[in-house]
Amino acid sequence: MSRRGIPANLLFAGILSTPAAQHRREIIRKSWLDPLMHGFSYAFVVGSGGSHSASTIAALHREQSLRSDVMLLTTTVDRNSTACPSTKCKIQVGKIFDFFVTVASTLSQSFLWVAKMDDDVYLLQPNILGELLPLNRTDGYYGARCPVSAYGKYPSRGEWFMCGMFYAVTWDVVRLFHRNRARLPRFGKEENVFKKTLAAYKRGCNTYYCGWTRCHDDAGAKARHGAEATGVGGSIEREPDLADIMVHQCKTDERVRQIPKNFRYEEFHEVTDRELRATGKSYEGGFGPRLAQ
């Protein structure tokens, strides 16, 4: 254990992005992302395959060389594949699993938790570290809605098992993905496929959820972005506060810049840092309840 009682390798977060979203990545770097926060490592995960202009790819490689926080994947989507019915190609999960496989094969160290998150999420880093710190560090799955064993169909609205905005698995699960990389699914609904894959390998038995009280959609997201914006069913929309873990559906760069004004983010950093130094504990606010299997 290192300073504050938080291991330096507690969490590696992959922030999924697109080649053209360079401005959004810069906004994230200047808003919620503290690259020096102890226990938190990250990379922007960008797919460089597919039909992107030469100038976009060139700009992406320049960004990678300057910033050194961009992880490039060559995942492509073959929408003519017989394994890819048109109804299932709206979301392809190959990039998700490729990220976990790449983490296992290329990083110079292992991490206790590895998370996938979207770039429309505003993450409060001290709070997610406080969530993960006391949890079981083997066979773990954080971000669930119901037990992995209850798979097969989508649960009823309001009982969704997870959503793509942020979820994390422990290092042993990441290694399992790497060992079975040739057999991992490529297409389908992200939430369902990820959960079914864990169930097929009988993993994710230590399952934890992040309820809507602390992981929620941004206020007015549905009104701003249409009915599909809150496609996870039953999400609460409200303004962020200091107890939150993450705020989803921050679709515009302007909104990402505005959010710190809601809770004086600099003061938040100062208070939690002082408390951690004084007590050695993580930021208060409670931990996501564990789900029974």
pLDDT in tens, 54-65: 888 899 999 998
146 or 34, greater pLDDT: 34
User: Is the dihedral angle over the CA atoms 25, 29, 30, 33 positive or is it negative?
Assistant: positive
Those residues whose C-beta lies under 8 Å from the C-beta of residue 156, and which sit 6 or more positions away, are none
| Range from 71-75, 119-123, 169-173, 240-244 that averages highest in pLDDT | 169-173
In the predicted structure, residue 251 carries a pLDDT above the cut 80? yes
Residues 19-23 have a mean pLDDT of 92
pLDDT reported for residue 112: 98
Name the H helices within 180-264. Answer: 190-200, 221-225, 253-263
19 or 211, greater pLDDT: 19
Amino acid at position 65, single letter: S
**Beta carbons of 180 and 201 less than 8 angstroms apart:** yes
Name the H helices within 6-53. Answer: 22-30
**Beta carbons of 102 and 76 less than 8 angstroms apart:** no
pLDDT in tens, 170-205: 999 999 999 999 999 888 877 778 878 888 898 988
179: exposed, middle or buried (Cβ count in 10 Å: 0-12, 13-18, 19+): exposed
Neighbour-count burial for 112-139, b at 16+ CB within 10 Å, e otherwise: bbbbbbbbbbbbbbbbbbbbbbebebeb
Dump strand ranges (E) for the chain.
11-17, 40-47, 70-73, 113-118, 122-123, 140-144, 166-170, 206-209, 215-218, 237-238, 246-248
Distance CA 29, CA 67 (A): 10
Average pLDDT, the chain: 76
pLDDT reported for residue 278: 46
Among 8, 206, 177, smallest CA distance to 98 is for 177
Give the DSSP H/E element, type plus range, for residue 163. Answer: none
Distance CA 206, CA 149 (A): 11
Distance CA 262, CA 255 (A): 11
Q: Where are the domains positioned within the chain?
A: 3-279
For residue 215, name the pLDDT band (cuts at 50, 70, 90).
confident
CA 15 to chain CA mean position, Å: 6
Residues 30-37 have a mean pLDDT of 90
What angle separates helix 253-263 from helix 265-279, to the nearest 10 degrees? 60
Of 29-38, 104-113, 277-286, the least confident: 277-286
Of 64-68, 88-92, 109-113, 217-221, the least confident: 88-92
Those residues whose C-beta lies under 8 Å from the C-beta of residue 36, and which sit 6 or more positions away, are none
70 or 286, greater pLDDT: 70
> Was domain 3-279 assigned CATH 3.90.550.10?
yes
pLDDT reported for residue 86: 53
Beta bridge mates, 42: 13
The predicted model scores a pTM of 0.80
**Beta carbons of 110 and 9 less than 8 angstroms apart:** yes
Distance CA 184, CA 98 (A): 9
- Please count the residues of the chain: 293
SS3 93: coil
Longest dimension (CA), the chain: 59
SS3 103: helix
Q: In this prediction, what percent of the chain has a pLDDT beyond 90?
A: 35
In the predicted structure, residue 125 carries a pLDDT above the cut 50? yes
Residues 218-244 have a mean pLDDT of 64
pLDDT reported for residue 270: 43
